[in-house]
A and B are shown apart, each in its own frame.
Chain A
Amino acid sequence: MTAVPPGRDVDPILDVRDLVTHLYTRWGVTKAVDGVSLRLYPGEMLGIVGESGSGKSMLALSLVRLTPEPAGRILGGQVLLNGQDLLLLSAKQMRRIRGREISMILQDPQQSLNPVYSVGNQLAEAIRLHGMAASSAEVLKRSVAALQSVRVPAPERRLRDFPHQMSGGMKQRVVGAMAIACQPSVLIADEPTTALDVTIQAQYLRLLDEIRKETSIGIILITHDFGVIAESCDRVAVMYAGRIVEQGPVSDIFDNPRHPYTRALLEARPRRGRQAARLPSIEGQPPSLIDLPPGCAFAPRCRHAYRRCEEQYPPSFEIGDYHRAACWLAEETP
């Protein structure tokens, strides 16, 4: 919970530079990811927050090069994992990276497990694929260990179960076990708790937190909920219309949000003691990513927008240590 920004001497495990992903659909080209740069340090939990349709999920899929076929295409940028550019790898090399170096937890545990194979089968596959175990006995040992690491009780028995015999929270733990079974250095969790009950949500976030402390894995947590960010992340990046509009340490963002969109999101967050009826929401709709305005994409919904906002996209201004915001207002007040 204590947000310690890593020192400058530590190399990031994941360094994303100017990533651009477009979707070629029947109605035009969607700029789902439009020049995103971010870094992830070992043992860190980085939150990516934004409304649905802001390109968060497409960003996550771009990092593992699994954008939808044939619509999605990664057009530019670099995804450096431990210094190696994933975008330059062959499909075969990339397959060795997936699950081994970088893995992912999907949103809906009800649908992420194959209904016709036992949990043990699916878990063993992840371990066997990357040559993590030589014999079947070792595969079994590792499978049990993986389930233990996500606090699944009676793991030996659970291995024989089929997904339909488990609760949603338990399935999501299994998905988590599959993701960390090969000890990757980066874990992307795409809204891992959205489909879970509220009580299970907090447990699951705590589990992720414990895992990264035990293993120094770097976690990217994608969510639309600032409350989740506040509880578990060190740093946060706010995404809007395919771009990161503001990023920085969680405490800085909460105390001193500089982008009007961040501010609006923070205000829209339900807080204890406030009546549900007065829950404020952000006016207007997120823009269609097909014909974006030339200037700031948030300008049409922004109370503070002026002419420059509509004409020119603001560059990212440095505000403090690791805190940057892409808003013309941030330029004026250093």
Chain B
Amino acid sequence: MARYVLINSVRGVLTILAVSFIVFSLARLTGDPLDVLAPVDMSREDEQALREQWGLDKSLPEQYRSFIANALRGDFGPSFLYPTETAGGIIADRLPASIRLGMVATLLVVTIGIPLGILSAVKRGSPADRIAKGLALFGQSVPEFWLAIMLIWLIAVPWKFIPTSGIGSWSSYILPSFVIAIFGIAALLRLFRSAMLETLGSEYIKLARLKGVSEFWVIMKHALKPASIGPLTFFGGVAVRMLTGATVVEIVFSWPGVGFLAFEAANARDFPVVQALALFTATVIVVMNLLVDVTYAYLDPRVRLGQRSLA
């Protein structure tokens, strides 16, 4: 088990390195940052000085090395948008708002998506199942940014107690968290529904019933745990997709989190902040995948006992 976690951690670090490389190359290869950052009437000398200050005069591998070295120290350079602060500092300021919103959305996903998926499988073919399937299809197909605008128009504006933007009391969380959650709810609903159907049709469920286990425990003990293993492999993907959704939703609701920050920074050409955010988000994703892998091992004795390895 320890070895398993170690292997996956090493893989995660490698992945973050690779992502940093991709971010770096995208940033450098798509154009010279100075073309857009430097004022048009800048003198040649000033430009050269700026180039040196940002290390743009060095070779690309060298630039990458110092980029990584600085990133490891949490130093992404000064923000262009707020010159008195560092990129890392701005992100740290904005992070709590995003985390709170993300936690509320995750809570919605887990408490709505999973039970609905189970219900839908157990009551297969019932009206509840049909409604759940419709919800899943909708959540999977609806563009979050549009849903957010429509909800502001149809709900927030007419019902005065729900704010249309910004962070405030608990009511300001309702719409953004719901819009972020809708895709996750749809995803978990579908994943758990099909996994539960597969499991409920299995021989060991038949045997549990033969032993005289009540239907409640057949579902909650014998079906749910093995059925959770399959969907778990997708949680990483669902999380990535929800992070994307969260960025868009923060922008629509002007939520003072890191997603909105990325938008502001990109529009202001605040390159260090955007770059730092991309790397930070990638790290979050990698850590989340690692957590999924560990949970996976916990749920599946074959992985836990080392008979199989994730590779």
Interface residues, chain A, CB within 8 Å of chain B?
64, 66, 70, 95-100, 103-104, 106-108, 111-118, 125-126, 129-130, 162, 164-165, 175, 178-179
Contact = CB atoms under 8 A, between A and B. Distances in A.
A178 B211 contact: yes
Interface of B is mostly: helix
B210 A66 contact: yes
Contacts of B143: none
Interface of B: 125, 202-204, 206-214, 222, 225-226, 229, 299-302, 305, 307
Nearest to A96: B212
Contacts of A99: 210-212
A106 B203 contact: yes
Contacts of A97: 212
B203 A98 contact: no
Contacts of A107: 203
Contacts of A130: 212
Nearest to A70: B125
A54 to B, nearest CB: 20
21 contacts: A66-B209, A97-B212, A104-B207, A104-B210, A106-B206, A107-B203, A111-B203, A111-B204, A112-B203, A112-B204, A113-B204, A113-B207, A114-B204, A115-B226, A115-B300, A116-B229, A116-B301, A126-B211, A165-B307, A178-B207, A178-B211
A129 B212 contact: yes
B93 to A, nearest CB: 44
Contacts of B211: 98-99, 103, 125-126, 129, 178
B222 A114 contact: yes
Given A98-B210, A111-B204, 6 more contacts: A66-B210, A99-B212, A106-B203, A115-B301, A116-B301, A125-B213
A178 B70 CA distance: 62
Contacts of A111: 202-204
B212 A164 contact: no
Ranked nearest first, the 3 interchain pairs of A and B with the lowest CB-CB distance are A99-B212, A111-B203, A98-B212
A175 B214 contact: no
Given A116-B229, A162-B302, A103 B204 contact: no
B205 to A, nearest CB: 8
A96 B213 CA distance: 9
Nearest to A97: B212
A248 B204 CA distance: 34
Contact of A115 (B209, B214, B302): B302
Residue from B203, B212, B302 having most chain A Cβ neighbours under 10 A: B212
A104 to B, nearest CB: 5
Given A108-B203, A113-B204, A115-B226, A103 B302 contact: no
Given A108-B203, A125-B213, A114 B302 contact: no
A129 B213 contact: yes
A103 B212 CA distance: 9
B302 A98 contact: no
A64 B206 CA distance: 11
A116 B299 contact: yes
Nearest to B207: A112
Nearest to A100: B212
A115 B301 CA distance: 8
Contact of A162 (B222, B299, B301): B301
A162 B225 CA distance: 15
Contact of B226 (A95, A104, A116, A129): A116
Nearest to A92: B214
Contacts of B209: 66, 98
Given A66-B206, A99-B212, A116 B307 contact: no
Contact of B210 (A103, A114, A115, A162): A103
A66 to B, nearest CB: 6
B103 to A, nearest CB: 28
A97 B214 CA distance: 12
A162 B305 contact: yes
A165 B306 CA distance: 11
Of listed B204, B229, B299, residue having the most chain A CB within 10 A: B204
Contact of B300 (A100, A108, A116, A175): A116
A209 B296 CA distance: 42
B166 to A, nearest CB: 45
Nearest to B214: A95
Contacts of A165: 305, 307
A114 B206 contact: no
A159 B229 CA distance: 23
Contact of B207 (A106, A162, A164): A106
Contacts of A114: 204, 208, 222, 226
Nearest to B307: A164
Nearest to A108: B203
Nearest to A175: B207
A118 B206 CA distance: 17
A114 B203 CA distance: 9
